[in-house]
Amino acid sequence: IYDIENHVPDLHKRYKDKEVVFINICVDSNEKEWKNALAKYQLDGINLIAEGWAKNPVCKMYNISGIPHYILIDKNGKIANNNAPLAYELNNKSDNNPIDQLLK
């Protein structure tokens, strides 16, 4: 929630007009809690739910053991980083920002 409130909005704004798609997958709530959170935090991007946390196939397939967890996928659909930096780090405007590197 801290990332969603403090870093994700700036990250989404930064890449709004770029070839970047944000997919948010909630794994730790039920559908009602998830819908309430979507309304409360006004999350941009594609929002999905995969109930069941660690038992859910999404978490198993992508080896997700904690949240938040960021994955970067390149333009060809290949996983570029299965354990990408957190949102505040991805907002970094340095030359080695992983999202900017993938956009080159």
| Beta-bridge mates of residue 46 | 23
Per-residue pLDDT of the chain (104 residues; tens, 9 = 90+): 899 999 999 999 999 999 999 999 999 999 999 999 999 999 889 999 999 888 889 889 888 888 999 999 999 999 999 999 999 999 888 778 899 999 98
- Can you give the pTM of this predicted structure? 0.84
Coil, strand or helix: which one is 53?
helix
DSSP classification of residue 10: H
DSSP classification of residue 85: P
What was the pLDDT predicted at 47? 95
What was the pLDDT predicted at 96? 80
